[in-house]
Each structure stands twice: as C-alpha cells, then as structure tokens.
A and B are shown apart, each in its own frame.
Chain A
C-alpha cells in the first residue's frame, strides 16, 4: 500500500498563500453623543474639544495629540464620523467609553459603527428596513 502511494504523481497545481494584513492606516468610527437632558447643543469645535479632553484625561498629553479628525458632524443629532490612526483606535474608544459629563451635564457616547474602510460606514445593515 505504501509503494502505491509513492508511485502517485505529484499534483500539478501549486498553492500560493496570500496574507492580507490590514493595510489601512486609519480607522473610521461613527459615533453619536447622547445627553441625559435635552436641549444641549455643541458646535463642531466644541465637539472636538470634548474628544481631545476625554483622551487627555485618560491617556495624557501624549495621546491627546493623536491625529484625530472629524470628517462629518451633524449638530441636530450630535452624530459624527471620526478618523483616527489604527494604533490609536483602542485608546480613543476606551476614552470615549469612560467620558461621563460635559460642563457638568451627564452624557454618553454611543459607538454605532467602526470600520477600517470609510465606504463601509455608508451602509449599515442594522438600520436596514426590510419591506
């Protein structure tokens, strides 16, 4: 039986393994800020100031200087799309989780979607309405 296996010809196909590590340097987050009371408004600059102060509280001045960008911001719904470099994603997310208040008013960040590709944030299967 072993001699029969040895006489079998080698397979003609060669296998090639491609490892695709995430090449995207940025991660994109869709977040929404919720306040306990209604009627609190922030403009884009105040929103960014809030994010940076959250990072500074937890991780200090070094990580408050991470290259963070707000790509879109809606003042009515207080939702935004943020861009952060991939090494800083965990730090930003954890500092958003631990942010409790803005100027004495209680608030919380809801993270709706996170993706290394911006195109993925355009459609969200959770908000899909099936007829």
Chain B
C-alpha cells in the first residue's frame, strides 16, 4: 500500500570493441548514467532520478546491466539511455550503446525475462558459430539449459526457481 515503487531496466551494453565489456564497473557506469541524465534533463532530471537510482546487477561477460529507478521518473531515465555513446575507463574511451531489453516492476520479472532471453541467445549463437570446438561447447550449454527447463516445468508449483535461475544466468 504505502511503499516506494521502482522500475527495473534491463539493458545490454553493445560495442564493437571486445575490451569495452570487460572494463564495465558498476560505479563508473552509474556515474556515467547520472551525468547523461543531468546533461539531457537538466538539474530537475538529475535530482529526481538520482534518489532511487542504483546499478543492481552487472555482468561483464555478457554486458547485461540491471538499473533501478523510481516509478514516477523512470521515463526520464529511459529517454536518457540512447544519449550514452561511449564508456570511459582509465583514460580509454570505448564507443558503445545501451540496448534496453526489458522494463520490469521487480527484480524477479527481470530475472525470468533474462533466463528466456539467454536461452534464445544460445540458440542463435549455435546457428552462427563457425568453430567446431565452440559448437560443441554451445551445444552442451543448450542441452543443459533444456534439462533445467524441463525440471523447472515439473517443479513449477514449488518455489525452487532460485537455484536453476542462478545456474542459467551464468
């Protein structure tokens, strides 16, 4: 009834440079997003968005970022994300952009979406990969995630989604 409602934005950092994702840090990214909101939406935007703003989850290998902001001002944050054109770390500037995948009201819905998205991405990778060794590794991950999916369908009623979700998110 009386609580602060948030919106969780699931974004993917897309870049040509492979070193860009490895240099992702939550504080650097948080500062960059705050500066961009201040530039695009001014003092008003910076103040209203920075109260409930946090970088909740960051995966440097896949480039997935989960941002949190207040429900009343999530549109200001969403509209400022396309204005991020580069990531700066230790003096190196990497051009990149943030792709918004999903907007959810809780971390759990974003997690569910991320699991389905990762499964689809594995299948796409399987089609596109050229190296035999890579193909075997990806096929093993796909079968493992399918087994986990079957197991989760059987145990749908029980609230045991946490373990397999953590495994599939790797």
Asked if A102 lies at the interface with its beta carbon under 8 angstroms from chain B, I say: no
Which B residues touch A62, using CB under 8 A?
40-41, 79
Interface residues of chain A: helix, strand, loop or mixed (majority): helix
B interface list, Cβ under 8 A from A: 38-45, 79
Q: How many A-B residue pairs have CB under 8 A?
A: 27
Interface stretch among A6-14, A19-27, A40-48, A52-60?
A: A52-60
Nearest CB in chain A to that of B46: its residue: A60
How far, in angstroms, from A56 to B44 measured CA to CA in the complex? 10
Q: Is A74 an interface residue (CB 8 A)?
A: no
| A residues with CB within 8 A of B | 55-63
B39 close to A57 (CB less than 8 A): no
Distance of A56 Cα from B40 Cα, bound (Å): 9
Closest to A60 in B: B42
5 contacts between A and B (CB under 8 A): A55-B42, A60-B38, A60-B44, A62-B40, A63-B41
Closest Cβ–Cβ distance, residue A50 to chain B (whole Å): 16
How near does chain B come to A43, taking the closest CB pair, in angstroms?
A: 26
Complex: A59 Cα to B41 Cα, angstroms: 5
B44, A58: Cβ atoms closer than 8 Å = yes
Residues of chain A lying within 8 A (CB to CB) of residue B43: 57-59
Rounded to whole angstroms, the CA-CA distance of A60 and B42 in the bound complex is 4
Q: How far is the CB of B45 from chain A (nearest CB, A)?
A: 5
Q: Which 4 A-B pairs have the closest CB atoms?
A: A60-B42, A60-B41, A59-B42, A60-B40
Min C-beta distance of A32 to chain B, whole Å = 25
How far is it, in angstroms, between the C-alpha of A56 and the C-alpha of B46 when the chains are bound?
13
* Minimal beta-carbon separation of A40 from chain B (angstroms): 25
- Which residues of the partner chain A approach B79 to less than 8 Å between Cβ atoms? 62
Q: Are B44 and A59 touching (Cβ within 8 A)?
A: yes
Q: Which of B39, B40, B42, B45 has the most CB of A within 10 A?
A: B42
Give A64 Cβ to nearest chain B Cβ, in Å: 8
- In the bound assembly, the distance between CA atoms of A60 and B43 in angstroms comes to 7
Q: Report the bound CA distance from A62 to B42 in whole Å.
A: 9
**Closest B residue, CB atoms, query A59:** B42
Residue in chain B with minimal CB distance to A91 = B44
